[in-house]
Structure 1
Amino acid sequence: MPWVRLDDRFPSHRKVALLSDRAFRLYVSALCWSSENLTEGRILEKELPLVARIRGHKTAAAELEAAGLWDRAEVGWVIHDYLEYNPDRAKVQAEREANAARQQAWRDRKKAEREAKRNGDRNGVTPTPDSAPDDTTDARRRHDGDTNASRSGAENQSSSQVNEFRNGVSNAAPSRPVLPSPSEKEKEDVSKTEGQPPGASLTHIGDRPRIPTNCEPLVAALSANDLHVGWELAANEWLLIEALIKRCGIPALVTSARGSWQGARVQPRSGRYFLPAWRQLPDAVAPGTPTLAPVQTLTGTDARVAGWGAIAAKFAAEDSA
């Protein structure tokens, strides 16, 4: 924004001190008008009413001309020595362009800083499950329901995109579900079969997992059906499996495992995956047990037709009698 330059002794100058109030106001207003519109001191006669809202503006202009403050021009006046104290149009425009360029450069720099900060927060690198320092398997895949798998990502990693209180998201590893333990009677039955005290470890022999003798037919049947899983189980889990074999039978367990295998989104990696579904199976029917045919209940049209048939049979029996 340009400025009008006035000497601090301007009001006491002999040319100004003798002016009337309206002429003084017109002169100062003309300085501001010329600086604002870059007229370089030229005042057009048709613009005179716009320069200052005063009465008798032509009389005031004649007074300024007589005092030597304005010089008469072809279509108006020129403020005397205006360019000696104020910049011309070219200089003002150059300063405005330089200021605009400097302000635009400042805005661009601030915008780039904000974008860099935003992209830095958004694109921050966090350890992935394959690169976490505590991971023991490079290609470990997680699946629902497999309690033998563990989350390999770092726990409670901070992220600018996730607020655990607002979005209900937590990076903590899920807790392992607690499987129901077999009863003491089931433990005693299996321990008698194996010749071991109740609660003895049946998990490993050396570095290889040990499969109890009573459970080997089930593992073989699952493998024959291409249901290959790991069998690193705890002693109480083997006791539970042996009790399930006695209660449900191997065919029912294999059928249930095949359904669980087909319904899993990710291939199970442990035999522990089948335990929850196996515990929901009904008891196997003993051989030779008679089965009752289901009672069929007629409803709707079938019931009405059956009723009419019974009435017709009754009438036919009476006629034959």
Structure 2
Amino acid sequence: MSEGGERARGNVAVIPEGARPIVDQITAAGVVVAWTLTTAEWFIVDALAKRSGPDMLAAAAVQAARRARNGVSHARYFLRTWQALPPAPAEGTVPAAPTGPGADVIPLDPTAPRKGRAAQAADWYAEIIAKEQ
């Protein structure tokens, strides 16, 4: 059935209050789409938000919209992406350690005074000489 037929029968639901944070986050990210979903589709969105969390749904929608070659004009486009998302992590779950280039680098404290290489070398040589004596 076409969207026009659904609207004519009054099957299109307004944005439920529980979905408002998702819609607001997606719109604030610059992704502007039509939100004329049916009542059944809003129930699906609600269930997915409870499973994966509204932040995850919003982030996935923004990424999907940016990847879309022809742009996105309707929120229905996000339903498949959202259905493929994993459940939100359990409360208190610690994120995995980062991997990839630079993941094992310890950042330096930018406020700590640092000696130049020559000064470090002079200190090392002074320590060696002190140990030998």
Task: Choose from 72, 87, 91 the match for 1:283.
Answer: 87
- CA, structure 1 residues 282+267, in 2 after alignment: closer, same or farther (shift >3 Å)? same
- CA, structure 1 residues 202+248, in 2 after alignment: closer, same or farther (shift >3 Å)? farther
- The residue type paired with residue 286 of structure 1 is A
Mapped contact 2:26–2:59 kept (Cα < 8 A):
no
Q: Which runs of 4+ in 1 moved over 4 A?
A: 290-294
Structural mapping, 1:17-166, within 5 Å: none
Please name the residue that 1:203 is paired with: 12
CA displacement, residues 13-43 of structure 1 (integer Å, 9 cap, x when unaligned) = xxxxxxxxxxxxxxxxxxxxxxxxxxxxxxx
Matched, 1:213 2:17: yes
Q: Secondary structure at the match of 2:70?
A: coil
Query: Could you tell me how far 1:290 is from its partner in structure 2?
Result: 4.7
Query: Could you tell me how far 1:287 is from its partner in structure 2?
Result: 2.3
Mapped contact 2:11–2:38 kept (Cα < 8 A):
yes
Structure 1 length normalisation: TM-score?
0.26
Mapped contact 1:202–1:238 kept (Cα < 8 A):
no
Stretch deviating more after TM superposition (282-291 or 267-276): 282-291
The 2-side partners of 1:225 and 1:291 are apart by: 25
Query: Could you tell me how far 1:202 is from its partner in structure 2?
Result: 7.1
- Give 5+ residue unaligned stretches, structure 2: 4-9, 99-133
- The residue type paired with residue 42 of structure 2 is W
Larger proportion of strand: 1
Q: Give the greater-gyration-radius structure (CA).
A: 1
- Give 5+ residue unaligned stretches, structure 1: 1-146, 149-200, 205-209, 295-321
Q: Secondary structure at the match of 2:79?
A: helix
Q: How many residues align?
A: 91
Structure 2 length normalisation: TM-score?
0.60
Query: Could you tell me how far 1:292 is from its partner in structure 2?
Result: 6.6
RMSD of Structure 2 on Structure 1 (CA): 2.4
- The residue type paired with residue 264 of structure 1 is A
Q: Secondary structure at the match of 2:36?
A: coil
Please name the residue that 1:249 is paired with: 53
